[in-house]
Amino acid sequence: MTSLADQLLVLCLLLNFAVLGTSRLAVSVRAVALQGVVLGVLPTLVHPFSWHLVLIVVSIVVAKGAVIPMLIMRAIRKADIEREFQPFIGYIPSLLLGALFTALAFIFAARLPLAPEHEGLLFVPASIATLMCGFLVLMGRRKAISQVIGYLLMENGIFIFGLLLADAMPLMVEAGALLDLLVGIFVMGIVINHISREFSSLDTSRLSALREE
């Protein structure tokens, strides 16, 4: 079972690169959604069965795999854009930096011991690498929607680590965190909508009226 869990974590890492390397927003959204579904399935492989766990799995899959991608796709349709345009950090440099961050994540993770039941799993490096890739997308892209995708990637990275605690954390905390994320994305969707109406573009580099001289 644990080897399957590791393979899924590797899939998560590969999906990071799919997001880093593409300019098509729809592809990025699907990659992040798929990552969310993988995240939802993972805890069943590491923890023994319990209803608590079932509830978490279902809510993660529904929220990350269906609701959030739907919200973002709707924002994309409304704003009528398909691609990222002239990102601050190009796709090839993004991929290289992503590889570098993934390597660093493995070095960092080696210094943090896991509890005996999680020994040998890739949770920590996968979590930190995904977090860093999300950060890279957030910093490197121009479009507001790409930045939201970066934020989601970061959140996925954090959730990967949270899965280690899935059966230990109180349900209320998990549910609360997921609800906050949903509402947050919903509000971001609305703001994106207003940005595209106000500036007739989603280019956040145009949001520069408030710069310090």
Partner 1 sequence: MMWAIVLLPLLGALVAWLIPDDRRRTFVLPLFAFLHLALTLALLLDTPPPSPGGWIFLDPLGKLALICNSVLFAACAAYAVGYLNYRRNRPNRILCSALLVCLSAMTLVAVSQHLGLLWIALEATTITMAPLIYFNHNARSIEATWKYLLICSVGIAIALLGLFFLAYSTIVAKQEVSLLLGSLIGDAARLHPGWRHAAFIFLLVGFGSKMGLAPLHTWKPDAYGEAPGLVGALLAGGLVNCALLGLLRVYQIAAASTEGALFQEVLLGMGLVSMAFAAVFMARQSDFKRMLAYSSVEHVGILAVALGLGKGALYGALLHMINNALTKGVLFLSSGNIHRAYNSKSTNFVRGALRRTPWSGALFLAAFFAITGSPPFGPFVSEFLIVSSAFVQGNYWSGGLFLLFLALIFIGMASTVLPVVMGKIPGDIEKTHYRDTAHTVLPPLVLMGVILMLGVWIPGPLQALLREAAGQLGGGE
Contact residues toward partner 1 (CB under 8 A) are: 111-115, 127, 131, 135, 138, 144, 147, 151, 154-155, 157-158, 161-162, 164-165, 168-170, 172-173, 176-177, 179-180, 183-184, 187-188, 191, 194-195, 198-199, 204, 207-210, 212
Specify whether the CB–CB gap between 167 and 53 falls below 8 A: yes
Q: Which is nearer to partner 1, 80 or 212 (CB)?
A: 212
Q: How far is the CB of 16 from partner 1 (least distance, A)?
A: 16
Q: How far is the CB of 176 from partner 1 (least distance, A)?
A: 4
Q: How far is the CB of 209 from partner 1 (least distance, A)?
A: 5
Name the H helices within the chain. 2-21, 25-46, 51-60, 68-79, 91-110, 123-140, 144-162, 171-199
- Helices 144-162 and 68-79: crossing angle in degrees, nearest 10, is 170
| Cα–Cα distance list, 172 to 53, 156, 168 (Å) | 13, 19, 12
Beta bridge partners of 203: 143
Q: Which is nearer to partner 1, 1 or 111 (CB)?
A: 111
Q: Which is nearer to partner 1, 92 or 133 (CB)?
A: 133
Q: Which is nearer to partner 1, 1 or 210 (CB)?
A: 210
The letter for the amino acid at 129 is A
Q: How far is the CB of 179 from partner 1 (least distance, A)?
A: 8
Going by C-alpha positions, the residue among 141, 151, 154, 156 that lies closest to residue 184 is: 151
Q: Which is nearer to partner 1, 5 or 195 (CB)?
A: 195
Q: How far is the CB of 142 from partner 1 (least distance, A)?
A: 13
How many other CB atoms are found less than 10 A from the CB of residue 209? 5
Going by C-alpha positions, the residue among 155, 134, 147 that lies closest to residue 17 is: 134
Q: Which is nearer to partner 1, 94 or 130 (CB)?
A: 130
Q: How far is the CB of 107 from partner 1 (least distance, A)?
A: 13
